[in-house]
Every structure is written in structure tokens, then in C-alpha cells.
Amino acid sequence: MDLIEKTVSQDYKYKGRIINLRVDDAELPNGEPCIREVVEHPGGVTVAALTDEDELIFVRQFRYPYGEVVLELPAGKLEPGEDPLSAGLRELEEEAGAVASKYTDLGKFYPSPGYCGEIIHMYGATGLTFTKQNLDEDEFLNVEKIPLNRAVEMVVNNEIRDGKTQAAVLKMAMLKWMSDTAE
């Protein structure tokens, strides 16, 4: 069965600094018309940085849409045309004051595929050295280290609610487990 929907027209309702909102007229696979609301986002990156003591580097910051402080891995928005790994290097050092000697591609994460085109690139990072935080002037956050096993428990117990963080924590834990059992 053909699953592809065809775009007939696009009408931008809002163009902002971070997102654009458009309403598309589209055609379903059976030829029937439909309307699709789409949030365009340039994409992002998150880094699961693991210390030699098997602790992950986290940040806590206020997230306005939820009205609460959220525990997340270091992350950020991609600049237009920016290489995702370069963005990950930048965000890890800016937010956590950390530089890694080894990066592992953990794949892509689609946070809300029903209406948003954002793609988050996930990386694991090891071989950390610590430098100095270099936060943006509108960025306020606290850095903390949490043992990997505890972070997995926190994901399972819904103490970590951020989707990209959940995925990257579980992937790092699985890679660590596979590496440990292969030895």
C-alpha cells in the first residue's frame, strides 16, 4: 500500500527566530484532500557525556513551556547548515565545560513526528576533560553528574521526562553494557 502524502500547497502562518508554522493542503494516498499543520525547526543535538567514573553529565534548566526545571543532557539548536557533531562539541563545552576525546553517533530522534519536523542528533562522548562553562547570555543552568545506572533508573521511574535525554541515556547504557559483556 502506498503511504506517501503529496503536498499541494503551503501557507506560512508564522516565521520566527526558532520555528516556523505552516498549514499545508495535502493529498492522502487515496487521493482525498487533507490539511497538515507543520512546525519547522532547524534541528538539534544532544550529548550523553560519560565520565571515567561512569557518570553522565546533566544540566538542569527552566523550560518555559512546562513552567518547571527540567533535567536534561547538554543539548542545543543547530545553526543553519551546521554539522550536528560540531554543534554537539560546542554545546557540551558551552553548557558543561567538558571536551571529549571520543564521540559515538547514537542516531537521530524525532521528538514529535505528528506535527514537527525537528530532528535531534544524539551523540555519546567519552574521554572527558573539563575546561570552563561558556553559557549564552540568556542561558541559566546547573551542571550535575549522575551515575549511569542511576540515570537509567530515573528514566524508568519517569524522573527524567525529556524524550531526547531518555533515548540517549538508554542507548549509552546499552552500549556500555554490550562493551562490558564483550570483554
Question: Domains plus CATH for the chain?
Answer: 6-40 (no CATH), 44-182 (3.90.79.10)
137 is catalytic: yes
Check 82, 137, 139, 153 and give the catalytic one.
137
User: What residues contact 174, with CB distance under 8 A and at least 6 apart?
Assistant: none
Nearest residue to 13 via CA among 33, 31, 38, 30: 38
Amino acid identity of 13?
Answer: K
What pLDDT, on a 0 to 100 scale, did the predictor assign at position 180?
Answer: 83
Q: How far is CA 41 from CA 20, 57, 80, in A?
A: 7, 26, 10
Q: pTM of whole model > 0.85?
A: yes
- The pLDDT mean for the chain works out to 96
What pLDDT, on a 0 to 100 scale, did the predictor assign at position 175?
Answer: 93
The whole-angstrom separation of Cα 158 and Cα 156 is 6
What pLDDT, on a 0 to 100 scale, did the predictor assign at position 183?
Answer: 72
Residue 64, sorted as left (phi over 0), alpha (psi -120 to 50) or beta, turns out to be: alpha
Q: Say what percent of the chain tops pLDDT 70.
A: 100
Q: How far is CA 77 from CA 84, 119, 179, in A?
A: 9, 10, 30
Q: Which residue has the cell 544532544?
A: 46
User: What residues contact 64, with CB distance under 8 A and at least 6 apart?
Assistant: none
